[in-house]
């Protein structure tokens, strides 16, 4: 119950609006206050964990104050907000990012120094918030960062998983998964909101409301409460603080006291377990069949709580519901939140009593949808009987959406039965399936891909029929981007200092177009030396990290050749390790003098395989098996080292990305929608060895062909090659055959365990065309080596690349979304 405003409110406001002082004494006071009052420490019992927690809580105080100001301001001016709905937010750490955003890093370093700690060590105490699998989740984190930095009113919505992305251990060369209990220690970066809780129903039956065409009452006795946790998102150099609102299932009310008193303890807590499991785990995104039903309920819990919250906030403005699209834009990050569409329809029809046409108009003007992949196995579909049982009301709404849509198609294209079958949201399989990508497309006013090539491909493939029916304008491209705050300023201080010097100030961090100024310094000898030195320093830092995590010692003077991303067949880590095997063979054939003239190389792999993805896990085993043999070979020494960095994460990436000389983005053409790590590596002065795929293409266009090493077949050639290979066994070129021979001779241990990998190329149709691309891949490696030997040219490439990468800031991407899809405007917070 809110109270009536009083005169004291004005005083309260004046007090709460005055920014907490930024001087060292105030900071120290607040850290000490949290050490003692929040964490019960005495001077003798402070350790770096508590030094971290207390400083983080003190930073959080500042963020929450700004959070309040921001939201109060947006409410007051009636700003339209964007809501970025994503089942994944791969945030990583927040502390350092927040210190940089508040521009209080030096101050906190000083205060921590006073109590006996180094800021770097304290930063290392933080656990990653790993609520995502890979690119899609990290993109969502970069996008909320940009929203905050650019003063756009916008929130992320997601789920607060109790266990994030699993921890990867490497045991005997194999990946072993362990739970990521990231909430075991207090999490300073979330703020529990028991006051923001919504009931979410499952199962049950429907009662038609008499006198209405489309209104139903949904009677269900399975109702869970979704409770909000808010994660403030600091905006760099602005008062604006964004928010990620994450839902968790509240379970206390589900405890059955009667069963407990009767001695049935499992029964007493059964309801709690059933509810809690919905927000327990982040789903792996490669395994589509496991736990389907749980996943569907998880998605619905997320969508229902989010839509109820958005509608409740809108209703507080007092405006009529027809104006919802003027106040809220909802972006669906892939199909996982698509149930938001029928959920908004349910709310508008059943709770608010609107007529179908008006509800549908509001819904389609509110939603927009981003597609992130064309891999068929990643296309979400739900069996109709399952959906009908769990979400009977939504199944009914989806049927109606489909019916009205197909009627429209039929009017436009009479007599085209094939079209109706192909475009229907319900797939006529056995059992029938709901095609979520189609539902998202029909229920949104815009559909976008994430790089130019990908946006073209979706128009020619999965959405081809929709382009015919709904027109081409609905389908747009929004090339991905990454946040320069984290992926340059935070992870690469050495290079960032150089850029700041050239630009004259730090304004480039929020306006990446300014890095162009680097071009003018490309011939400045002294500057070039410092550029090289910055990269070398980053390589030394990675070498230390590799030593600490793997025990392998590598030379920072070698060429650092990195492939760090999820392990997946289409990303072709297998091709990479096969080329390493071939290189090893060549080195072994050489006379010592000749070998000594070879360019030393450290090949770094990092990435996780989905727990149920056997082939990907065998690739990890092969990489580790090769590493073991090569690294122990005294004849080879520093000329070749192979490293698998375990437990790839945002934090690991922050060590790896700034240190690459070359990074590999070598997916089969047409399979990687965009890629975002390719952008990160180049923004840190690394060069790409890649295929003509995803955002590699646009990076090449921006930085210039001399600054990128392309190889491999083109997307339009893939279908023909695949067709040929379906009926003909490939003839590996001599290099690839050499690699196979070495594996089969047992050079890397038991040959049998790796035979299925070889078979996937020789007998499995070579779906990802390794045999096709291998020769040009080897040639491209030679070109890289040749170029790296000319240090002068290499430094030029590196500087020019960074200078020309402004397009790949997530700020550019967010501005395009804001202007062309969301229709929202930046509004810097003012009192």
Among all residues, which ones are annotated catalytic? 372, 565-566, 571, 676, 680
- Closest C-alpha among 685, 687, 648, 677 to residue 546: 648
Shortest Å, Cβ 818 to ligand GFP: 18
Task: Report in angstroms how near the CB of residue 158 gets to ligand GFP at its nearest.
Answer: 14
Give the nearer residue to ligand GFP in terms of CB position, either 281 or 450: 450
Check if the beta carbon of residue 616 is closer than 8 Å to that of residue 655.
Answer: no
How far the first Cα of the chain sits from its last, in Å, is: 26
Nearer to ligand GFP, 201 or 478 (CB): 478
Minimum CB separation of residue 695 from ligand GFP in Å reads: 7
Q: Is 226 in contact with 304 (CB distance < 8 Å)?
A: yes
The tokens for 283 are: 């789903």
- Cβ atoms of residues 409 and 492 within 8 Å: no
Residue 369 pairs with which residues in a beta bridge? 332, 447
Is 485 or 608 the residue whose CB approaches ligand GFP more closely? 608
**Percent composition of the chain: helix, strand, coil (DSSP 3-state, to 5):** 55, 15, 30
Task: Output the DSSP codes for 199-244.
Answer: EEEES-EEEEPTT-SS-EEEE-SEEEEEEEEEEEEEPTTSS-EEEE
Q: Which is nearer to ligand GFP, 136 or 662 (CB)?
A: 136
Rounded-to-integer distance, Cα 414 and Cα 425, Å: 18
User: Toward ligand GFP, which CB reaches closer, 88 or 561?
Assistant: 88
Q: Is 302 in contact with 391 (CB distance < 8 Å)?
A: no
Shortest distance, position 334 Cβ to ligand GFP, whole Å: 8
229 vs 235: CA distance, rounded Å = 19
Q: Which residues bind ligand GFP (CB under 6 A)?
A: 133-136, 139, 285, 372-373, 450, 480, 566, 672-676, 694
In the bound state with ligand GFP, the residue whose beta carbon lies nearer, of 406 and 679, is: 679
Output 135 or 484, the one with its CB closest to ligand GFP. 135
Smaller CB distance to ligand GFP: residue 30 or 448? 448
Q: How many CB atoms lie within 10 A of CB 29?
A: 14
Rounded to an integer, what distance in angstroms lies between the CA atom of residue 166 and that of residue 168?
Answer: 6
In the complex, minimum distance from the CB of residue 167 to ligand GFP, in angstroms, rounded to a whole number: 18
Which residue, 589 or 820, is less far from ligand GFP as judged by CB?
Answer: 820
Closer to ligand GFP by Cβ: residue 139 or 558? 139
Structure tokens at 539: 């390589």
| Least CB distance to ligand GFP at residue 510 (A) | 22
* Cβ at position 397, least distance to ligand GFP in Å: 28
Orientation of helix 356-366 relative to helix 392-412, angle to 10°:
90
> How many Cα atoms within 13 Å fall on the side-chain side of residue 11?
3
Cα gap 777→770, rounded to integer Å: 9
CA 73 to the chain's CA centroid: 29
Q: How is 668-686 classified by DSSP, letter by letter?
A: PTTT-S--SHHHHHHHTT-
Which residue bears the tokens 């072994």?
Answer: 588
Determine the Cα–Cα distance for residues 352 and 368; give it in Å rounded to an integer.
Answer: 23
Of 65 and 479, nearer to ligand GFP (C-beta) is 479
Determine whether 416 is exposed, middle or buried from the number of CB atoms within 10 Å of its CB (0-12, 13-18, 19+).
middle
User: Cβ 382 to ligand GFP, closest distance in Å?
Assistant: 20
Q: Tokens 């007493």, residue?
A: 268
Helix (H, G, I), strand (E, B) or coil at 436: helix
In angstroms, what is the minimal distance from the CB of 451 to ligand GFP? 7
Burial of 708 (0-12, 13-18, 19+ CB in 10 A): buried
Backbone phi and psi for residue 61, each to the nearest 5 degrees, phi listed first: -55, -45
Q: Write the DSSP string, 485-502.
A: IIIIIIT-HHHHHHHHHH
CA–CA gap between residue 83 and residue 30 (Å, rounded) = 33
Residues paired with 89 in a beta bridge: 131
């Amino acid at each position: 119950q809110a109270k009536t405003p009083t005169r004291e409110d004005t005083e309260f406001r004046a007090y709460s609006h005055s920014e907490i002082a930024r001087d060292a004494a105030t900071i120290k006071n607040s850290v000490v206050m949290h050490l003692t009052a929040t964490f019960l420490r005495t001077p003798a019992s402070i350790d770096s964990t508590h030094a971290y927690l207390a400083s983080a809580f003190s930073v959080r105080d500042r963020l929450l104050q700004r959070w309040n100001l921001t939201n109060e301001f947006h409410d007051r001016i009636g700003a339209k907000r964007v809501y970025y709905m994503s089942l994944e937010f791969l945030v990583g750490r927040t502390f350092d990012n927040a210190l940089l955003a508040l521009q209080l890093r030096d101050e906190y370093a000083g205060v921590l120094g006073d109590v006996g700690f180094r800021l770097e060590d304290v930063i290392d105490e933080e656990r990653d918030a790993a609520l995502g699998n890979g690119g899609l989740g990290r993109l969502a984190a970069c996008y909320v960062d940009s929203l905050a930095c650019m003063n756009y009113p916008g929130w992320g919505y997601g789920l607060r998983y109790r266990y994030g992305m699993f921890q990867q251990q490497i045991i005997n060369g194999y990946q072993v998964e362990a739970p990521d209990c990231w909430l075991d220690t207090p999490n300073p970066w979330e703020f529990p909101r028991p006051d923001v809780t919504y009931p979410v129903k499952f199962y049950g039956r429907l009662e038609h409301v008499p006198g209405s065409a489309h209104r139903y009452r949904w009677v269900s006795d399975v109702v869970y409460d979704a409770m909000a946790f808010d994660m403030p998102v600091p905006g760099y150099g602005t008062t604006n603080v964004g928010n990620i609102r994450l839902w968790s299932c509240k379970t206390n009310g589900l405890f059955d006291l009667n069963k407990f008193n009767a001695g049935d303890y499992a029964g007493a807590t059964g309801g709690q377990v059933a509810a809690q499991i919905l927000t327990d785990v982040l789903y792996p995104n490669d395994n589509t069949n496991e736990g389907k039903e749980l996943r569907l309920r998880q998605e619905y819990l997320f969508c229902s709580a989010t839509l109820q919250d958005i509608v409740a906030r809108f209703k507080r403005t007092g405006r009529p519901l027809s104006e919802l699209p003027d106040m809220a834009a909802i972006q669906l990050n892939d199909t996982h939140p698509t149930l938001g569409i029928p959920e908004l329809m349910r709310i508008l029809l059943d709770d608010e009593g609107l007529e179908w046409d008006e509800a549908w108009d509001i819904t389609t003007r509110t939603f927009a949808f981003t597609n992130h992949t064309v891999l068929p196995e990643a296309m979400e579909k739900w069996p109709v009987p399952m959906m009908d049982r769990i979400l009977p009301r939504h199944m009914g709404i989806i049927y109606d959406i489909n019916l009205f849509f197909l009627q429209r198609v039929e009017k436009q294209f009479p007599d085209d039965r094939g079209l109706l079958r192909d475009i229907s949201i319900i797939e006529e399989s056995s059992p029938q399936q709901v095609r979520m990508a189609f539902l998202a497309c029909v229920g949104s006013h815009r559909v976008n891909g994430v790089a130019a090539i990908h946006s073209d491909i979706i128009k020619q493939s999965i959405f081809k029929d929709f382009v015919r029916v709904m027109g081409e304008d609905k389908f747009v491209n929004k090339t991905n981007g990454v946040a320069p705050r984290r992926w340059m300023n935070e992870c690469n201080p050495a290079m960032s200092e150089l850029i700041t010097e050239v630009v004259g100030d730090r304004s480039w961090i929020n306006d990446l177009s300014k890095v162009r100024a680097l071009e003018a310094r490309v011939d400045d000898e002294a500057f070039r030396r410092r550029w090289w030195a910055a990269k070398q320093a980053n390589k030394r830092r990675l070498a230390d990290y590799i030593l600490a995590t793997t025990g392998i010692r590598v030379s920072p003077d070698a060429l650092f050749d990195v492939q760090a991303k999820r392990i997946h067949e289409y990303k072709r880590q297998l091709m990479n390790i096969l080329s390493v095997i071939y290189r090893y063979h060549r080195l072994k054939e050489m006379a010592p003098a000749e070998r000594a003239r070879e360019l030393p190389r450290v090949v770094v792999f990092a990435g996780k395989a989905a727990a149920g993805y056997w082939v990907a896990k065998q690739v990890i085993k092969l990489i580790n098996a090769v590493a073991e043999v090569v690294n122990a070979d005294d004849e080879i020494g520093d000329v070749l080292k192979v490293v698998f960095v375990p437990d790839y994460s945002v934090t690991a990436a922050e060590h790896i990305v700034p240190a690459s000389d070359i990074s590999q983005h070598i997916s089969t053409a047409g399979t990687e929608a965009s890629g975002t790590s390719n952008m990160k590596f180049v923004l840190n002065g690394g060069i790409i060895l890649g295929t003509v795929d995803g955002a590699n293409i646009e990076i090449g266009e921006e930085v210039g062909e001399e600054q990128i090493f392309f190889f491999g077949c083109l997307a339009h050639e893939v279908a023909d090659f695949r067709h040929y290979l379906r009926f003909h066994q490939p003839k590996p070129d001599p290099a690839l055959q050499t690699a196979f021979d070495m594996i089969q001779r047992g050079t890397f241990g038991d040959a049998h365990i790796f035979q299925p990998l070889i078979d996937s190329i020789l007998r499995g149709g070579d779906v990802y065309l390794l045999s096709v691309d291998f020769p040009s891949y080897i040639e491209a490696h030679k070109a890289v080596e040749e170029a790296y030997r000319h240090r002068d040219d290499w430094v030029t490439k590196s500087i020019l690349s960074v200078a020309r990468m402004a397009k790949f800031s997530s700020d550019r991407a967010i501005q395009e979304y804001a202007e062309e899809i969301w229709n929202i405007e930046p509004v810097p917070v003012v009192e």
